[in-house]
Chain A
Amino acid sequence: MSKKVIPWLDNLLQEIEGVEIRRKDSRRVRIDIAPDSLPTLLELLRGRAGYVHLSAITCVDWIDDGQFELVYQLWSYESQSLVSAHIRIAREPGVYVSVFDLYQPAAFFERDIHEMFGVYFEGSPDMSKFILTEWNGPPPMRKEFDAEAWVNETFEWKDYQPDWLKEITEQGGGIVKTPEEARQKKP
């Protein structure tokens, strides 16, 4: 079962400035750190503490603060614990460094975040499009992107009147509520 996690962590992190560590439970540790120090932290965690598995990189859009939060989930097969490292970067210009040289799975996550949030990772091997190949609009996962408004601007609503529906409507059935009525909010 779970071994004693992190006797090393405090010593290790004394070298880095601006670190805040919170232990959520015996297997979960949260580290908030300045963006400049994150690569050093990851290098220490990987090289000296056995956190060899990068489970995920997540981007969270805090539009009110004008910041993106990047969360790195690191798992150690030895101590069986998960460290989540949190940094905040400015929303504009939204540039950060890649950690691909430390963790190869980062390539996929960084490419995904670049596509969905528009954050550019310097040094990442491939920043080309993957999922939204034919998309020319703004990065869609940003909070200011309103999918419904974009659809209303881009497409025209058309009446759907096939013959079979006309027959049903003549008999008193069919579509009871039009799309316009459905979109109107209740008072």
Chain B
Amino acid sequence: MRPENYQAKSHPPSNEYELNFGPNHPGIEGNYALKVKLHGDVVVAARADGGYLHRGFEKLMEGRLWIQNIALVPRICVPDPVPMEVCYSMAVEALTDMEVPERAQWLRVLQLELSRIAAHLFTFGGHAATTGMYTTMYWGVADRDQILDLFEEWTGGRVYHIYNIPGGVRRDMPTGFLDRVSRTMDYIESRLPDYDNLFFTNQVFVDRARDTGPMNQQQALEWGVTGPNLRATGLAFDVRRDDPYLVYDQIDFDIPTESPGDAWARTLVRRQELKQSIHIVRQVVEKLPSINGPVRTQIPNPLAWNVPAGETYTRVESSKGELGYYVVSDGGDKPHRVHVRGPSSMHAVQVLEQLSVGARLEDVAQIMFSLDACPPEVDR
């Protein structure tokens, strides 16, 4: 070894140590890991480590027919699978210049909003559990189950519905289904004051979440943050309103914002979005009986369907933020390339790494859950 290449091996100071936070840890969301360096119990550096959920979706999709991929895409995000189906279907429709019947568009909106409510209830449970309040988790999961029951009756699947296909949706609703949707919405809305008392105004939660993992609007824009995490810094951006798709431009809803940008604000934005989603579902329930017609357009034989060559980038607002699909066709019966831009690929990697620094070890889990990171979206 030449002397100029010699470098003394650097040892960390004796008061610093490294800790593997995950992949099997109750405070981490899904199979994901964060390697944190600690000084006492204060984080001085953090490094995200993904790949535990990598199933190679993008490569798999290149080897499957356009229609077969419908069964694959919802698996990319387990808690909120509907935006994946809708976004992929919209991309194929854009490539083939296909018109989606109006009734199918309203049915899609209903699915998207129900899925958003279910995903938010799940996230509250996770966030509450990181502050030691497990009751909220039990309640959240139980109330989410009411929505899964609706999905099961409607589509046959509780978690993965495989209901949205290019050209529309697979089938119409069962008889009397809208009444049951209304009843479930009434029930969930009646539960919101209970959640407020139990969790959102709970002094333990407020004290723990205030000023935890703060992020200002400038940082959020620099780091490419979208969704509720961006709205918690005061910027009212929502793909549903600012880049409308389906029939969202005919629906009345507010975009809740908060300004502090900390864990408390992020969760509070989701709490208000719950109310907006219930409001949207009620509008759809009111509107749907007046819209008759088919629920899907005729597509060619799906087993020999050559989608015209082209490329498209479609976006929807999932419960976690901006979800994008970049789909390229070379004119064949399978996609040439599908790229999934999961919203968590921003806030579960770079943002989580940055916000963890300076936090105490017991707050790292809370920061991750308040960002609503979804590791399968990162790994794909």
Q: Looking across the interface, which residue of chain B has its beta carbon closest to that of A69?
A: B328
> Do the beta carbons of A80 and B242 come within 8 Å of each other?
yes
A interface majority secondary structure: mixed
B58 within 8 A of A: yes
State which of B51, B222, B336, B337 has its C-beta within 8 Å of the C-beta of A104: B222
> Do the beta carbons of A56 and B350 come within 8 Å of each other?
no
> Do the beta carbons of A80 and B345 come within 8 Å of each other?
no
CA distance A77 to B242 in the complex (A): 8
A5 within 8 A of B: no
Interface residues in A48-74 (C-beta closer than 8 Å to B): 52-56, 58-61, 71, 73
A182 within 8 A of B: no
For the complex formed, measure the closest distance between the CB of A129 and the CB atoms of chain B, giving whole angstroms: 8
Q: How many A-B residue pairs have CB under 8 A?
A: 81
Q: Looking across the interface, which residue of chain A has its beta carbon closest to that of B339?
A: A58
State which of A55, A61, A140 has its C-beta within 8 Å of the C-beta of B341: A55
CA distance A56 to B137 in the complex (A): 34
Determine the chain B residues whose CB is within 8 A of the CB of A73 once the complex forms.
313, 324, 326, 341
Determine the chain A residues whose CB is within 8 A of the CB of B349 once the complex forms.
108, 130
The total of chain A residues at the interface (CB under 8 A) is: 33
A91 within 8 A of B: no
> Do the beta carbons of B243 and A27 come within 8 Å of each other?
yes
> Do the beta carbons of A132 and B54 come within 8 Å of each other?
yes
Determine the chain B residues whose CB is within 8 A of the CB of A52 once the complex forms.
221
A13 within 8 A of B: no
For the complex formed, measure the closest distance between the CB of A125 and the CB atoms of chain B, giving whole angstroms: 10
B322 within 8 A of A: yes
CB contact under 8 A between A61 and B337, given known A53-B221, A73-B313, A133-B51: yes
> Do the beta carbons of B50 and A131 come within 8 Å of each other?
yes
B127 within 8 A of A: no
Q: Looking across the interface, which residue of chain B has its beta carbon closest to that of A60?
A: B337
> Do the beta carbons of A141 and B54 come within 8 Å of each other?
no
CA distance A71 to B336 in the complex (A): 14
State which of B221, B237, B324, B379 has its C-beta within 8 Å of the C-beta of A131: B379
Q: What would 20 A/B residue contacts be, using CB atoms closer than 8 Å? A: A27-B243, A52-B221, A54-B224, A55-B322, A56-B313, A56-B339, A58-B326, A58-B339, A60-B328, A75-B243, A80-B243, A103-B224, A104-B350, A108-B345, A108-B346, A130-B48, A132-B54, A133-B49, A133-B51, A141-B58
Q: Interface of A with B (CB < 8 Å)? A: 27-28, 52-56, 58-61, 71, 73, 75, 77, 80, 82, 84, 103-105, 107-109, 112, 116, 130-133, 140-141, 147
